[in-house]
Amino acid sequence: MWFKNLKIYRLSAAWSLFGDHLEAALARQAYQPGTNLEMQCIGWVEPRENGGLAHVVNGQILLTLRAEKKQLHGTVINQVAKSRAQEIEEQQGYKPGRQQMKEIKERVTDELLPRAFSIYRDTRVWIDPRYRWLVIDAATSNKADEVIGILAKCIDPFPLENLYVAQSPASAMTNWLADDEAPANFSIDQDTELRSSGLSGAAIRYVKHSIDADDARRHIQSGKQCTRLAMTWADRISFVLTEGLDIKRVSPLDVLKEGNEGMAANDDEKFDSDMLLMTGELAKMMAELVEALGGEKRL
């Protein structure tokens, strides 16, 4: 249930879709299994089995976008196409030209698609209408953009805004290391990356190893800034903050796991309980992190 990566956005005050209206909007792009001749397809599925496309618990909304892609390697297509080209060469007495080879590959692809395996990828989205968060569990901008693009097709206009903070994460993380002091309610963990802002892009990484305060200051004085920093919030959630304000490797600590064990009577109740715990804790953590970065900046 817990999101592993957080791409964080803001909903504008114009957000007003709830209940059946949101469900109907998502249904415009509901997932339909691809046919034998479709290379890929994408759409919304139920986050919880036997539920709706928008799963709502205590005002918190969870969505799941499914992408299906046929696994058909280019080497296989090329091998079969080469064999076909040789047959055609024998028949017509000369090698197929560029356009003819393109057509051969297209025909081979169409023939092989029905036998190709489908790979499924689910990307989850959390919407907090009360505090206006929209969070995508995605490790890359491409996957987040994919989700936003589908949402924009369902909801027009789509009231989404980027999250801006007063102090850049790189500047803030660099200051925390230089001062050897994390912001209130946070602690600095072992993984750290410092990178030169010059053309060389030289980087120093500490993996599962704490950086000494003197070493940190020495790297900073040489012109490096902290671009990734492992941290823990309130002894409850560990994560890695990046210079782009992405939050990666999110992990609830034992104090949260233990407190939520044995509370649900069945799988559906456990799903909802885990969802409430995650959204409640992450909302607090993100609010405090924004505050630690100087507060939200309005453009």
Digit-coded pLDDT (tens) for 40-67: 789 999 999 888 999 999 999 999 999 9
Under 8 Å between Cβ of 131 and 142 = no
183 DSSP assignment = P
Residues 215-222, mean pLDDT to the nearest whole number: 89
Q: Are 2 and 253 in contact (CB under 8 A)?
A: no
User: Does 242 score more than 80 pLDDT?
Assistant: yes
More confident residue, 197 or 279: 279
What is the SS3 assignment for 161? strand
Query: pLDDT of 106-145, one tens digit each?
Result: 776 676 666 666 678 999 999 999 999 999 999 999 999 9
Residue 12's pLDDT is: 86
> Please, which pLDDT band fits residue 71 given cuts at 50, 70 and 90?
low
As a whole-number percent, the residues of the chain with pLDDT over 90 amount to 55
Question: Highest mean pLDDT: which of 77-91, 167-181, 198-212?
Answer: 167-181
pLDDT for 212 equals 84
Taking residue 142's Cβ as centre, other Cβ atoms within 10 Å add up to: 8
pLDDT at 27 over 90: yes
Looking at the predicted structure, is the pLDDT value of residue 167 above 90? yes
Q: Which of 38-52, 79-93, 186-200 has the lowest mean pLDDT?
A: 79-93
Query: Given a cut of 90, is residue 158 above it in pLDDT?
Result: no
Average pLDDT over residues 157-162: 89
What is the structure's pLDDT at 164? 95
- Cβ atoms 67, 60 nearer than 8 A: no
Confidence of residue 85 (pLDDT cuts 50, 70, 90): confident
Top pLDDT among 89 and 149 is at 149
Pair type for strands 247-252 and 237-242: antiparallel
Instruction: List C-alpha distances in Å: 156 to 140, 141, 159.
Output: 25, 22, 8
Is-contact 146 65, C-beta < 8 A? yes
3-state secondary structure of 103: helix
Average pLDDT over residues 164-173: 96
Question: What is the gyration radius of the CA atoms in the chain, in angstroms?
Answer: 25
Four-point Cα dihedral 25, 31, 36, 37, nearest 10: 40
Q: Is the pLDDT of residue 5 over 70?
A: yes
* pLDDT of 37 strictly over 70: no
Q: What is the 3-state secondary structure (H, E, C) of 202-241?
A: CEEEECCCCCCHHHHHHHHHCCEEEEEEEEEECCCEEEEE
On the CB side of 130, CA atoms within 13 Å amount to 11
**Residue 293 burial (CB count, 10 A):** 22
Please state the rounded mean pLDDT for residues 211-215. Answer: 85
Full-model pTM: 0.83
